[in-house]
Structure 1
Amino acid sequence: MSTVPAWDAVGLLSEDGASEARDEDTSDFYAWGGKLIRTQRSKHKRTITVTALEDNLVVFGLVNPGSTVATATGVNTRTVKIPKSEKRAFVLEMIDGDITRRRHIPTGEVTEVGEVSLSESDLQAFELTITIYPDVNDVLYFDIDNDPQGAATSG
């Protein structure tokens, strides 16, 4: 499996993993007598939701794009601004024994952040919904793995 370029790690994710959602409009067209002859699809949208379990600078940047952190004499000051649009690439990595699976999203953006609990008794977690944008060839993402069961055969 090829190496992935240096990425900024979000850190640990919830054991619930990631969930993918699809949303699109469809219009059905029927011939005389009610026979379905075509379905037109439009406004396709794909999202992936993960829950980050760490409160690090990468997560802070995803939750608060355009905001800043400054450190002086051991004190961190986070200046939180109204979020700005910030597209970036993402990679999700899942390991199962010797099998490594990566989903490479060339262009995505955190478009929703779930409610964050500010409590001494609860784990602070950040539910992030990433909207995936297609490239000029309509490619949304690449799934890359080293699973021999999924290898393409030639011929």
Structure 2
Amino acid sequence: MAGDTDNPRLWEGADFYAAPVGSTAPTTVAGALDEVWEAVGLLSEDGASETRDQDSTDHYAWGGKLIRTTRSKHKRTIKITCLEDNLVVFGLVNPGSTASTTGGVTTRVVKVPKTDPRAFLLHLTDGEIGKRRVFPKGEVSEVGEVTLSDSALQAYELTITVYPTADGVLYHDITDDPQAAVPTTP
């Protein structure tokens, strides 16, 4: 059997962060993040999922021979479920809303959501192997149903639409995974 059993990844740990668009992104896997990167807190054990969507059109020559496929309207989303109801999550779920605390009592004023693009970072670990996926610009485009009960954790399922940069970059992966290393040519 071809392959190496040390290569498949099972991401045992993860953190998810948000920051203003244009924030200094990390360039290493383990280096400290700028203080503008705010953690959303505990995440669901279901992990994160990435979805790709695009239109494709097949073009045929006379006689039915496929000669080309064109692609357009590429869309990438990432879905993550936050288990905490902290200020970072509140801001992502309710952009444009406010919160204030006086005398130990917090009042949240929830308004109709406004556009609020952010930079996002997903930090993953598998033992000693790490990966940081940096999304320079995205926005929470959907918030799943929030259950308030005595039998299920309150959770916020966020779908984030990833916007490409002017040169078409959706995200950067930074990893110390040896299987991802690009061989150097002498």
* Matched ranges for 1:7-18 at <5 A: 7-18=37-48
Using structure 2 for the length normalisation, give the TM-score.
Answer: 0.81
1:53-94 Cα shifts (integer Å, max 9, x gaps): 111100000000000001111100000000001001000011
Counterparts of 1:24 and 1:147, CA distance in 2? 29
The two structures have a TM-score, normalised by structure 1, of 0.96
Letter in 1 for 2:142: E
Unpaired segments ≥5 residues, structure 1: none
Identity of aligned residues (%): 65
CA distance in 2, matches of 1:36, 1:13: 45
Give the structure 1 partner of residue 71 of structure 2: 41
- Counterparts of 1:45 and 1:59, CA distance in 2: 24
CA distance in 2 between counterparts of 1:12 and 1:146 reads 24
CA RMSD of aligned residues (A): 1.0
**C-alpha separation in 2, matches of 1:106 and 1:74:** 36
Match in the other structure for 2:170 = 140
Q: How many residues align?
A: 155
Q: Per-residue displacement from partner, 1:99-155 (whole Å, max 9, x unpaired)?
A: 111110000000000000011322000000000000011000011111122111111
1:84-99 paired onto structure 2 within 5 Å: 84-99=114-129
Q: Where does the alignment leave 5 or more consecutive residues of structure 2 unmatched?
A: 1-27
State the SS of the aligned residue for 1:123: coil
In the aligned structure 1, how far is the partner of 2:44 from the partner of 2:131? Answer: 17
Post-superposition offset of 1:26: 1.1
Q: Which has the higher contact order (CA 8 A, sep 6+)?
A: 2
